[in-house]
């Protein structure tokens, strides 16, 4: 029956979705509640004396003007860092699409049912994508509740954009994980490769931010995290070419995963 | 004959890896399974039984050759084929956090017609004495196996493919399983089951294929296989094996590989017990133990001169 894998996958995932969502929402709420504790202009003066690399490590880069606003503080204080933590979630879900169930032998049972491999993978991909959206919605709720509880004045429009921008980013990470798992077959190998990819991307983003105006700056462009820059989003709103890039690459990786998975042995 | 075969495998080879590290798991396998029969696929561990099944299910792709099920190509038309088959893997793993009933419902929803399938699953679970309310992670290996059987059979498939189906089942449940298989055959459905347990295959199968090192050595009726069968007999005398008994046993046509060690004698018996019993009666027998041959013994008998006449 169409949608059975999608429904079951979501049923098996919603608890993790809620747990991750609440965890990240609590973190977001905490950052929002910290806003009244700081004088943003004092903070800006203080940070102006920091070396660029330290600012890059914090995730600020040259965005001191943006940072010296309530939204900037939340965007860079939470969203800049949470992206790396949140990226663990799509990696876990991406592993579940093929590698995990292949390693445990569950895929043998599933694929012995009247299901094509492509349909199975696409339904799982969609279910996990929905769970990513669920986590993002809970984060958004956390920011809203934090602002309400702390009576923090935030530009809801811009923070909405920063929050929902996470969706294409995280789906991209999941698609990359799915592709690696489809190619590597073994769970541990796939996990190692995708972890290295995510961590290296984060480091390259940091180097790119720290090396602004130097020959090392273009390195940042290689990182997929670079295209989720909370400061930039606050300034410019949705950067549609970046979102389209994430979406196109995700679709490309999904198609490549299906192509590879369709042609190889399962569970060997 | 082949045109009507439920399973028709032609020249199927599967080679894992490449170059010096390649492993031939199946070597030009050709085999037909006819409608309405229970076909036992017999071979020691590592013979290629599971590989054959995985090719039939399109989980792995053959290096050469072809396989059809119900006349449909196992690879190109796998979804249509899977609609009509039930499968139990040798090493069954299911979603740990889901209950048996939830797993059944999931599989039924993929197949379509949830209500009737679930009803049949409940009946099967009752016959196998399986509590489907427990989570998979809380089920014993035997109960997981029962759940696997329920999932494989609950939609009354035309073909059952079972990999080591009774492994881990207690004897009473094995009996129920044998009954289910016989009922299946009576309905005209086909069963393809792999096993390395000779007695199981003898109990329920019509024909047997013997596989070793990826090579199909023989396909024969169970009766023919039984003719190959012999037993190992162990006799424990109160004192040392009497010389006249040893001499008498060595002289029996049905006895071979006689070995005496102190008061213990071991021999291979192929044929009736009577001459042996009369011979050992000359001594004081404390214990008599009859051991069924292992599959390896059968293979050795079959391929080292014993053959079908042995």
Residue-wise pLDDT tens digits, B122-158: 999 999 999 999 999 999 999 999 999 999 999 999 9
- pLDDT tens across A64-107, in order? 777 778 888 888 888 877 888 999 999 999 999 999 999 999 99
Say if residue B20's pLDDT is above 70: yes
Tell me, what's the pLDDT at B166?
87
Mutation for testing the B interface, residue in A102, A114, A119 having most B CBs under 10 Å: A114
Per the model's pLDDT, the better-predicted residue between B200 and B121 turns out to be B121
Of A204-208, B34-38, B131-135, minimum mean pLDDT range: A204-208
CA distances from B240 to A230, B165, B243, B268 (A): 91, 44, 9, 19
**How far off is chain A from B15, nearest CA to CA, in Å?**
12
> Does A124 map to a domain?
yes
Local confidence band at B226 (pLDDT 50, 70, 90 cut-offs): low
Tell me, what's the pLDDT at B309?
39
pTM: 0.85
Of B16, B58, B94, the CB nearest to A109: B94
Mutation for testing the A interface, residue in B79, B141, B144 having most A CBs under 10 Å: B79
- With a pLDDT cut of 90, the percent of chain B lying above it is 71
Subunit contact B111:A113, Cβ cutoff 8 A: yes
- pLDDT tens across A222-263, in order? 888 888 877 778 778 888 999 999 999 999 999 999 999 999
Q: Is A118 on the interface with B (CB under 8 A)?
A: no
Tell me, what's the pLDDT at B299?
62
Average pLDDT over residues B229-254: 92
The CA angle A20-A25-A29, to the nearest 5 degrees, is 155
- pLDDT tens across A117-142, in order? 999 999 999 999 999 999 999 999 99
Q: Is A104 on the interface with B (CB under 8 A)?
A: yes
Per the model's pLDDT, the better-predicted residue between A165 and A217 turns out to be A165
Please name the residue of chain B whose CA is at the shortest distance from the CA of residue A2: B110
Q: How many CA atoms lie within 13 A of B251 on its CB side?
A: 10
Please name the residue of chain A whose CA is at the shortest distance from the CA of residue B161: A112
Of A1, A112, A263, the CB nearest to B82: A112
Q: Is A262 on the interface with B (CB under 8 A)?
A: no
Contacts of A243 (CB under 8 A, 6+ apart): A165, A168
Tell me, what's the pLDDT at A209?
75
Tell me, what's the pLDDT at B296?
63
Average pLDDT over residues B19-30: 88
- pLDDT tens across A163-176, in order? 999 999 999 999 99
Domain residue ranges of chain B, discontinuous segments joined by +: 2-226, 230-292
Say if residue B304's pLDDT is above 60: no
Residues in chain B within 8 Å Cβ distance of A111 = 57-59
Say if residue A40's pLDDT is above 80: no
Say if residue A61's pLDDT is above 70: no
Q: Is A116 on the interface with B (CB under 8 A)?
A: yes
Subunit contact A7:B16, Cβ cutoff 8 A: no
Tell me, what's the pLDDT at B1?
45
Residues in chain A within 8 Å Cβ distance of B137 = none
> Does A93 map to a domain?
yes
Backbone dihedral angles phi then psi of residue B237, each to the nearest 5 degrees: -90, 160
**Which strands make up the sheet holding B72-73, listed edge to edge?**
B23-33, B7-16, B64-69, B72-73
Local confidence band at A62 (pLDDT 50, 70, 90 cut-offs): low
Please name the residue of chain A whose CA is at the shortest distance from the CA of residue B93: A106
Of B118-122, B225-229, B250-254, B277-281, minimum mean pLDDT range: B225-229
Topology of the domain comprising B2-226:
Rossmann fold (3.40.50)
Of B106, B111, B151, the CB nearest to A114: B111
Subunit contact A109:B83, Cβ cutoff 8 A: no
Subunit contact A111:B59, Cβ cutoff 8 A: yes
Tell me, what's the pLDDT at A1?
59
Say if residue B110's pLDDT is above 80: yes
Tell me, what's the pLDDT at B303?
58
- With a pLDDT cut of 90, the percent of chain A lying above it is 56
Contacts of B148 (CB under 8 A, 6+ apart): A109, B88, B89, B92, B94
Tell me, what's the pLDDT at A53?
72
Subunit contact A108:B89, Cβ cutoff 8 A: yes
Tell me, what's the pLDDT at B252?
94
> Does A252 map to a domain?
yes
Q: Is A112 on the interface with B (CB under 8 A)?
A: yes
Per the model's pLDDT, the better-predicted residue between A187 and A255 turns out to be A255
Average pLDDT over residues B224-246: 87
Per the model's pLDDT, the better-predicted residue between A196 and A70 turns out to be A196
Q: Is A266 on the interface with B (CB under 8 A)?
A: yes
Are A83 and A225 within 8 A, CB to CB?
yes
Task: Kindly tell me the sign of the dihedral angle through the C-alpha atoms of A193, A194, A197, A202.
Answer: negative
| Strand B85-88 with B159-163, pairing | parallel
Average pLDDT over residues A26-38: 90
Local confidence band at B308 (pLDDT 50, 70, 90 cut-offs): very low
Subunit contact A8:B82, Cβ cutoff 8 A: no
Show the domain range for A24: 4-263
Task: Kindly tell me the sign of the dihedral angle through the C-alpha atoms of A218, A220, A226, A232.
Answer: negative
Please name the residue of chain B whose CA is at the shortest distance from the CA of residue A111: B59
Q: Is A265 on the interface with B (CB under 8 A)?
A: yes
Residues in chain A within 8 Å Cβ distance of B78 = 116
Q: What is the mean pLDDT of chain B?
A: 90
Are B51 and B214 within 8 A, CB to CB?
yes
Subunit contact B80:A8, Cβ cutoff 8 A: no
Subunit contact B89:A109, Cβ cutoff 8 A: yes
**How far off is chain B from A142, nearest CA to CA, in Å?**
29
CATH 1.10.10.10 fits B230-292, yes or no: no
For chain A, how many structural domains are there in total? 1
Average pLDDT over residues B258-278: 93
Tell me, what's the pLDDT at B210?
87
ipTM for the predicted complex = 0.86
> Does A268 map to a domain?
no
Local confidence band at A50 (pLDDT 50, 70, 90 cut-offs): confident
Say if residue B246's pLDDT is above 80: yes
Of A167-171, B71-75, B78-82, B289-293, minimum mean pLDDT range: B289-293
- Classified as helix, coil or strand, B64 is strand
Distance CA A139, CA A83 (A): 12
Local confidence band at B196 (pLDDT 50, 70, 90 cut-offs): confident
Question: What count of CB pairs under 8 Å joins A to B?
Answer: 74
Tell me, what's the pLDDT at A84?
85
């Amino acid at each position: 029956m169409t949608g059975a894998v999608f429904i079951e996958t979501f049923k098996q995932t919603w608890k993790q979705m809620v747990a991750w969502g609440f965890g990240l929402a609590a973190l977001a709420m905490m950052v929002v509640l910290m806003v009244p504790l700081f004088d943003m202009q004092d903070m800006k003066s203080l940070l102006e004396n920091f070396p660029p690399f330290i600012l890059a490590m914090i995730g600020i880069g040259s965005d001191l003007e943006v940072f010296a606003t309530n939204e900037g503080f939340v965007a860079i204080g939470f969203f800049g860092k949470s992206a790396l933590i949140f990226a663990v979630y799509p990696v876990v879900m991406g592993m579940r699409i093929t590698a995990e169930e292949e390693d445990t032998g569950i895929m043998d049972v599933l694929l012995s049912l009247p299901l094509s491999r492509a349909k199975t993978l696409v339904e799982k991909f969609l279910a996990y994508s929905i769970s990513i959206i669920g986590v993002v919605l809970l984060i958004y709720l956390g920011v809203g509740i934090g602002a309400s509880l702390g009576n923090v004045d935030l530009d809801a429009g811009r923070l909405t954009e920063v929050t929902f921008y996470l969706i294409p980013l995280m789906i991209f990470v999941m698609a990359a994980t799915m592709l690696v798992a489809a190619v590597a077959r073994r769970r541990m190998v796939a996990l190692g490769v995708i972890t290295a990819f995510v961590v290296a991307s984060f480091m390259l983003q940091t180097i790119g931010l720290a090396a602004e105006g130097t020959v090392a700056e273009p390195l940042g462009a290689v990182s997929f995290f670079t295209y989720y820059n909370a400061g930039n989003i606050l300034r410019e709103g949705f950067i549609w070419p970046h979102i389209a890039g994430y979406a196109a690459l995700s679709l490309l990786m999904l198609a490549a995963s299906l192509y590879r998975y369709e042609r190889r042995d399962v569970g060997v | 004959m082949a045109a009507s075969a439920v399973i028709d495998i032609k020249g199927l080879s599967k080679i894992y890896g490449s170059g010096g590290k390649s492993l031939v798991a199946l070597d030009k396998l050709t085999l037909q399974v006819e409608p309405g029969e229970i076909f036992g696929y017999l071979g020691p561990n590592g013979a290629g039984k599971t590989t054959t099944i995985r090719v039939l299910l399109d989980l792995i792709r053959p290096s050469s050759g072809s396989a059809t099920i119900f006349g449909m190509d196992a690879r190109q038309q796998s979804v249509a084929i899977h609609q009509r088959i039930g499968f139990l893997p040798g090493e069954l793993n299911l979603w740990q956090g889901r209950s048996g009933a939830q797993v059944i419902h999931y599989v039924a929803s993929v197949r379509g017609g949830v209500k009737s399938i679930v009803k049949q699953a409940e009946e099967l679970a009752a016959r196998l004495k399986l509590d489907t309310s427990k989570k998979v992670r809380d089920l014993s290996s035997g109960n997981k196996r029962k759940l696997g059987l329920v999932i494989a059979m609950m939609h009354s498939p035309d073909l059952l493919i079972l990999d080591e189906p009774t492994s881990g089942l207690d004897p009473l449940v094995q009996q129920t399983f044998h009954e289910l298989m016989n009922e299946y055959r009576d309905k005209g459905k086909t069963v393809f089951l792999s096993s390395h347990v000779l007695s199981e295959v003898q109990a329920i199968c019509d024909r047997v294929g013997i596989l070793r090192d990826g090579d199909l050595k023989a396909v024969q009726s169970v009766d023919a296989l039984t003719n190959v069968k012999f037993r190992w007999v162990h006799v424990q005398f109160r004192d040392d094996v009497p010389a006249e008994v040893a001499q008498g046993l060595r002289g029996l046509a049905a006895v071979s590989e006689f070995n005496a060690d102190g008061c213990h004698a071991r021999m291979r018996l192929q044929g009736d017990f009577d001459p042996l019993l009369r011979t050992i009666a000359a001594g004081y027998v404390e214990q008599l133990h009859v051991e069924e041959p292992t599959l390896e013994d059968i293979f050795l008998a079959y391929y080292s001169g014993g053959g079908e006449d042995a």
